[in-house]
Amino acid sequence: MDDPRHREAERLFTQQASRQRTEFVVSSILALEQNVQLEQVVRQAVREELNQLRVTVPSSTNVPEAVVHLEELPDSLIHALEEL
């Protein structure tokens, strides 16, 4: 019992009353299977939605160019550019 998961499973199992242990194991297995199936359904739904999604990127002609006038720049920035 070196695996911590095994120890945890044993702890949960032994917490059950001896008459309820079989039901505990059956319920656990069925719950896991239900979770696996639910995950598959969700993944398939997301995959289908992503396949139908259309992403459009605006062309560069639609994006106005940024125009900066020197008088809009702070003096310190202008002087820093002159020093370069």
Q: Spell out the SS3 assignment of 35-84.
A: HHHHHHHHHHHHHHHHHHCCCCCCCCCCCCCCCCCHHHCCHHHHHHHHHC
The whole-model pTM stands at 0.53
Residues of the chain below pLDDT 70: 58-84
Q: Name which of 30, 1, 35 is nearest 22 in CA terms.
A: 30
Query: What's residue 14's pLDDT?
Result: 94
